[in-house]
Amino acid sequence: MEKLAITMADFEKAAKLVQPSSKREGFSSIPNVKWEDVGGLDDIRDEFDLYIISRIKYPDDYQKFGVNLETGILLYGPPGCGKTMIAKAAANEAGANFIHVKGPELLNKYVGESELAVRTLFSRARTCSPCIIFFDEVDALTTMRGKEGGWVVERLLNQLLIELDGADQRPGIFIIGATNRPEVMDPAVLRPGRFGKLIHVPLPSSEDRGLILKALAKGKPIDPSVDLAAIGQMEACKNFSGADLRKLMEEAAMTALKEAKRQRHLNETSGTITATQNEPSVNITATHFEQALGKISPSVSEKQIQYYKAWSESFKAT
């Protein structure tokens, strides 16, 4: 006969269950990312407008024209290219609540809880419609299949499919998945009615890099002589993701700050401080960007770029 004993794991499990949602799991609110914070990605914005924003704002139009679109979108592409940002901006623009779910977090090792978590997630979304559920690293829900613990994934995935298939029962609820590894996604998840609309979020073009830099420059003392569009076109920015461009902007700002500090120190030691000199007089200049460029290199490799391109082509071909 199997021996029954209370283990440490049971205590941990009980403690987790009685914690009043302390991890903010499934916590929803309207995100504060705005469209103007997102640089470039115009085509993807248009898709989001058609598939989500206008649908939430003007549902009657869709009904009138009898247009029935997918409610699940999968964003795929290299990391740091704005998948999360655009999903949040879409929710902000639509005035929709946003539930951010990290794929791996849903994979609770305690049997049954993951399924419950999925059910709870969708019922919470129903209570705060219009709502976007964003599954970050959604591939994690399928990659472990066949490996140790794979059956937990399988049960969770089945529950997820049940919820996804019930689109009719959740008006005003949209599902967005994001993945850097589309090839490991279970094809069952990508069928129509589930994550039926696939959108590639590629590395920004040279023009988009300029637009991203402009979006990132908001609120920063960029010298008027700096041409951000021209910086975006530079060979040194080739293959930069949005996240790399953010690093570039941060590094340039840091270099300028250091210079401002040095200048302040000089003023103080020479005893020539006036009220205005006490204010940092240094703006972020092209030289600061040049110095920053020497320190930053693309985080996505050429091989990865080719892989995403090939995947997106093969998807178009099927």
Mark the segment that binds ligand ADP (CB under 6 A) among 38-46, 90-98, 119-127, 154-162. Answer: 38-46
315 Cα distance to chain centroid: 22
With CA atoms as reference, report the closest residue to 133 among 191, 90, 79, 173. Answer: 173
**Looking at 31, 39, 72, 202, which residue binds ligand ADP (CB under 6 A)?**
39
Choosing from 52, 73, 85, 106, the residue that interacts with ligand ADP (CB under 6 A) is 85
What string of DSSP letters covers 223-261?
-TT--HHHHHHSGGGTT--HHHHHHHHHHHHHHHHHHHH
CB 242 to ligand ADP: min, Å: 2
Q: Which residues fall within 8 angstroms of residue 216, CB to CB, at 6 or more apart? A: 39, 245, 246, 249
Q: Judged by CB under 6 A, does residue 248 bind ligand ADP?
A: no
Task: For residue 231, state whether it binds ligand ADP (rule: CB under 6 A).
Answer: no
**Max Cα distance, the chain (Å):** 87
39 vs 172, which CB is nearer to ligand ADP?
Answer: 39
Instruction: Give me the 200-229 binding string for ligand ADP, x by CB under 6 A, dash otherwise.
Output: ------------x--xx-------------
107 part of the interface to ligand ADP, by CB under 6 A: no
List 74, 81, 228, 282, residue binding ligand ADP (CB under 6 A): 81
Amino acid letter, 18: V
Sheet holding 131-136, edge to edge: 28-29, 97-102, 131-136, 173-179, 72-76, 197-200
- Interaction between residue 130 and ligand ADP (CB under 6 A): no
User: Taking the complex as a whole, how short is the minimal distance between the CB of residue 314 and ligand ADP, in angstroms?
Assistant: 21
What minimum distance in Å lies between the beta carbon of 190 and ligand ADP?
18
Question: CA–CA separation, 96 vs 131, rounded Å?
Answer: 5
CA angle, 115 as apex, 28 and 117 as ends, to 5°? 20
User: Site for ligand ADP (CB under 6 A): which residue of 26, 31, 72, 82?
Assistant: 82
Among positions 50, 234, 243, 257, the unique one binding ligand ADP when judged by CB under 6 A: 243
| Structure tokens, 261 | 């500090």
Distance, in Å, from the CA atom of 64 to the CA atom of 277, rounded to the nearest integer, reads 63
Residue of the chain from 26, 31, 72, 80 that contacts ligand ADP (CB under 6 A): 80
Residues in the interface with ligand ADP (CB under 6 A) total 18
Answer yes or no whether residue 83 interacts with ligand ADP by CB under 6 A. yes
Length of the chain: 318
Q: Which residues on neighbouring strands pair with residue 29, listed in sequence order?
A: 98
Residue nearest ligand ADP (C-beta atom): 242
Residue in this structure with the two tokens 């640089």, named with its chain if needed:
39
Among 25, 62, 79, 150, binds ligand ADP (CB under 6 A): 79
* Residues making contact with ligand ADP (CB under 6 A): 38-41, 79-85, 178, 212, 215-216, 242-243, 246
